[in-house]
Structure 1
């Protein structure tokens, strides 16, 4: 719920009973060592931002934080901040390791803030924190409570102990940061809702505003209630951002991206055209639209290489497999639907990105690309230690000389052990691999004769890498040089002319040393 309050800051000071160093135009309280305990410990709930003035993320958060502070005043919820440049010791006392760090304090006890960083997200999160896990709903606030957040679940019960009240409460305690939970036994409210208790209803601010829990409510379990909430917490098609991306990841469903140019006059038309397809596949595939200009690199990463919009690609988030609709064709809802039907039927092959196969492999570290991954890495005769890297990754750049040294150490046993690398930004892993890359560098070891990978999580010194290889390799890595070949000098009748005098080679064979000395003398 968007709250509005523009009471003068002086009034807030009067109510709070303390003076602050804050700008009088701001509703965010400035904390210092002299007032931190007196302000924070007496509040039942307060949000504190630890920031640095030079921090770009802090600057981006600032206007949203100010707006949220103003809106939350009416609810009696305060927002405060600490400048970690001026108050370094105070920030160190609260274990601040990055900026901005936000902490929720309840009666002086801190916990990490895990909510959004936009104004309405902060407001919503803090309101949930201020309420019991399940709030009681009365006739006087029933309509207001339905609209109090983006997603609201209300249990309509004959009594506070009627099933599924215990399961509903457990769900609320588990997901209070995600949804707003309420219950009511008020007969007038139950009649207004038009339900027969026990019943659970989800109210939301998008698509259909009301969805009734379809299962038999008295026997509903925590798992069933949270599955109902999760499935219906995602719009048919919505803009994806850092604020909501995790919601799509945790849903476990594939994600269909519609890339659109925000300046295109037909942008809304493109989005609306795909809505019926999204509605048809609700519960099987999630849909989002995304700014193709701002996130052009993401489009390329999803195998949409051309700057041609709108474009569509389906991604299996769990396996990071990509199924783009060809950009050589005009995008239509019908073509998207056909693509999705093939995917759901198991008849669609992912499009794997791969660099060209290197013409030569002269370095000690072997270069793997998407097209060669299975042939090289799944070679049963070899142990393989593989680095997945990104060209822009600073940690990868620091690791390179050490990784090259590791490759050089085992250069003589390449028939048994391969030290390899793969640019994970330009090459996709095949479906046969049961892991996906989450960060750089990622180091994985595949022992000979298996298809299992062992994660390397130690320090990245050459000594640790060597120890790890020696512990996990199946092959014998001892280098045995080939036996020296015996050199046999055969007699020759060839005559050698030295200083114009013929000498019979059979009479005096020349050794290299003798020959050199002779030439030196000449």
Structure 2
């Protein structure tokens, strides 16, 4: 009897999902909607025809394997087959990565790498602020977390309340911890409590605005500080994180380089990238509040922003508030740390030439540039297919327009033929 009950339970579970042998990924059906609020779920909403979904598949398998021993269940849903699931979660594109915890739903907007997706899930499976009670835990924390926020002090008071509130907002994007001064010991430079730090690049940076007496001002200052500090000092910028970097409302300074298919950068490009990185590392106090530095290897994305083919390597600075961008007049080979400093000072004083923006003319020109670039890439890749894709519809449209715009000519030809026929009959 017990064996039968176990068999029935197993059959019931398999009715909701099945496990792929290699990946430990749960293949979910629309019956998942009945259990969506039970436990914690990391889901990939996909379509079989989606090329991006196919590229994510092996990464998703590694994510499932990494989280197999955790309470997080990793699954995926074919939204073309189970449209009710897509409608329930308002899926607008594929793939969409979501984390579900009870009534809470979180959508992932970062890079589609195993490391970043796993960190996203681990952040959300825990409370917004995790407590550290043992000194030796900091060694593990520093080893496993390249960036985290740390509150030192009691779980009471204005700063704690605002810290917890801010952590609740940014939990999908960063790790937040709390501890006591006796526990943190020598791992963070605590002189007085409460104290607040961000840890990155093996250094703790102190939040200096906790003495603000105005509650609203302190709340805005803390929110702005966390929002800006949740990124490394010099991150790799991709399509996955550039929109998040725009939320800093800083000028985004990008060293533009080129990678090969193995994500390898040539020595001359590395030298240029390192030069730009050294500037923010040595001049952090001068530029950190106004500029977010990073490097990017996606030339198509940069060309789309600049609306021109940017040389490699090069430098571009994007105003994330107005969407204007700045490009130095000097050739990339002539850019030195001193020249870049002078360029950044021109931007701060608003004397540097600016391009782009959000006007309708700029949007129109960007659309034309991206269309031209896309068609050019298609033509270089497969000219015959491109000619067929655009030639056949153009031919049909030409015939339709000809029939609409020139009916009088066709009718005139028919009338002339009829008139000639009548005249011929009369002569006979």
Instruction: Give the alignment's TM-score, normalised by structure 1.
Output: 0.58
CA distance in 1, matches of 2:258, 2:89: 44
* Among candidates 285, 290, 294, match of residue 284 of structure 1: 290
**Displacement after TM superposition at 1:55 (Å):** 0.7
Residue 239 (structure 1) aligned to one of 236, 239, 245: 236
Quote how far apart the aligned CAs of 1:315 are: 2.5
In structure 2, distance between residues paired with 1:203 and 1:121: 18
Shift of 1:238: 2.6
Equivalent position to 1:255, from 252, 255, 270: 252
Say which structure is richer in helix. 2
Q: Give the alignment of 1:22-171 within 5 angstroms.
A: 22-34=19-31, 36=32, 40-43=36-39, 45-107=40-102, 109=103, 111-116=105-110, 117-139=112-134, 141-157=137-153, 159-171=154-166
172, 177, 182: which one pairs with 2:172?
177
What's the TM-score once normalised by structure 2's chain length? Answer: 0.69
Matched position secondary structure for 2:267:
coil
- Over alpha carbons, which structure has the higher Rg? 1
Q: Distance in 2 between matches of 1:229 and 1:110?
A: 22
Identify which of 259, 268, 271 aligns with 2:270: 268
Q: How far apart, in 2, do the equivalents of 1:270 and 1:387 lie? A: 33
Secondary structure of 1:390's match? helix
Task: Give unmatched runs, 5+ long, in structure 2.
Answer: 1-8, 260-264, 372-428
| Map of 2:322 onto structure 1 | 319
Q: Is the 8 A contact 2:18 2:27 kept in 1?
A: yes
Q: 1:242 to 1:162 in 2, by over 3 A?
A: same
Structure 1 runs not aligned, ≥5 long = 1-13, 354-367, 371-385, 395-522
Give, in angstroms, the shift of residue 228 of structure 1: 2.7
Structure 1 residues 311, 115: CA separation in 2 closer, same or farther (over 3 Å shift)? closer
Q: Distance in 1 between matches of 2:169 and 2:163?
A: 10
Q: Deviations over 1:470-512 (max 9, x none)?
A: xxxxxxxxxxxxxxxxxxxxxxxxxxxxxxxxxxxxxxxxxxx
Q: Cα distance, 1:18 vs. partner?
A: 4.3
Aligned-pair distance for 1:104? 2.7
Distance 1:190 1:162, change over 3 A: farther
1:308-387 paired onto structure 2 within 5 Å: 308-326=311-329, 328=331, 330-350=334-354
Number of the residue aligned with 1:214: 208
Per-residue deviation, 1:135: 1.5
Aligned Cα RMSD in Å?
3.4
**Larger RCO (CA within 8 A; separation ≥ 6):** 2
Shift of 1:298: 2.7
| Residues 196-233 of structure 1 deviation map (CA, whole Å, 9 limit, x = unaligned) | 322112122x3x43212234469683323233323333
